Amino acid sequence: MSLRLNLLLFLLTFSLTACNKEAKQSPLKSSRDASLCQFSAGDCIKQVGDTQLKFNLSPVSAPSEKPLTLTLSSTLPITNVNLRLEGRDMFMGIIPVKMQQSDDTTYIGNFVYGSCSSGYMVWRGFVSFSLNGQDHTVIVDFLADDNG
Structural domains present in the chain: 35-144 (2.60.40.1930)
Residue 129 gets which letter from DSSP? E
Q: Digits of tens for pLDDT over the chain (148 positions)?
A: 555 555 444 444 444 433 333 333 333 444 468 889 999 999 999 999 999 999 999 999 999 999 999 999 999 999 999 999 999 999 999 999 999 999 999 999 999 999 888 888 999 999 999 999 999 999 999 999 988 6
Q: How far apart are CA 74 and CA 31, in angstroms?
A: 26
Write down the H helix ranges in 17-86. Answer: none
Q: How far apart are CA 97 and CA 53, in angstroms?
A: 17
Task: Give pLDDT, residue 13.
Answer: 45
Q: How far apart are CA 38 and CA 21, in angstroms?
A: 35
Cα 34 to its chain centre, rounded Å, is 14
Global pTM reads 0.76
